[in-house]
Structures are given as structure tokens and as C-alpha cells.
Amino acid sequence: MPKTDLSPAALAFLREPRFASVASIDPDGSPRQAVAWYDVEADGRILINSRTPRRWCLNMLERPNVALSVVDGGDGYRWLGLTGVIDEVVHDVERAREDIVALAHRYHPEGPEPSLIAAFRTQPRVTFLVRITGVHDHLED
């Protein structure tokens, strides 16, 4: 499946620290959603990190198709929908822990609570890199 490039407007929207609703697929085929932090990698993939063994995390390990929606917190009519495929899973716990710490700094630019960082550094974590395959752009005013 080919990679979908993001428009400059979509990329700028995603670079803001918004929350993503991540949809995965349960073993019985039912959809499951979770709200997560994310970041956009230099290659355009979306980085998502989870503590294991959360159900949505297990779903993503077992079934690589996902969908994300990112909503503008100030205007719920502005949002971006993404479909994608997980094309890399980082099982290296130390690297995954560093990824969640980086996300904590992205979402708490004033500096996250030291206790939060300390907790992240002890948790079993995994990082997913999602290759975008479709974009539903609802960013125009």
C-alpha cells in the first residue's frame, strides 16, 4: 500500500500537540478506540506509544490497520481523519520509554511532572510507527 503524503496544512495541524483518537480492531472484529498522544516523524509517519498490555495496544500488535482522528480542541468542526498501517513496532522497552518521555515533553512544554517521567521510565511500553494510507481533511474554515 503506498504512502500518502500530508498536505502542508495537514502537517501543520498535526504538529500541534492535539489528542488523537486511535481506532484499532478487537479480535472479534469490533472497533475499539483510545485517546493517545502522538507525534509526526520526519518521514511523515505517526508515532504512537502505549503501555502494554492495554487492549488497544494488543490489537495494534496483532492487526496493523488503524484509523486516527485528531480534532482541533478550539473548533470541533476542524479535524483530520487518517487511516494507516503500522509498518514498524519498537519492542525495545528503553527506546519506547524514551519515546513516551519525549511525548510528555511535547504535551507539557512547561515540563512534565518528575513523577510522571519516573513512572514512564519503569513501565513496559511499545512504540508504533503508522504509515498514513488515507487522509480525510476537514481543516478548511
What mean pLDDT comes out for the span 67-83?
A: 96
pLDDT confidence of residue 108: 97
Domain segments of the chain as ranges: 8-136
Predicted confidence band of residue 140 (pLDDT cuts 50, 70, 90): confident
How far CA 62 is from CA of 57, 66, 125, 140, in Å, comes to 9, 11, 16, 36
What mean pLDDT comes out for the span 40-58?
A: 96
Q: Which three cell numbers stand for residue 106?
A: 511535547
pLDDT confidence of residue 35: 98
Predicted confidence band of residue 3 (pLDDT cuts 50, 70, 90): low
Whether pTM exceeds 0.75: yes
Q: Which long-range contacts (CB under 8 A, 24 or more apart) does 97-102 make?
A: 97/121, 97/123, 97/125, 99/47, 99/49, 99/125, 99/127, 100/37, 100/49, 100/125, 100/127, 102/39
pLDDT confidence of residue 5: 81
- Does CATH place domain 8-136 in 2.30.110.10? yes
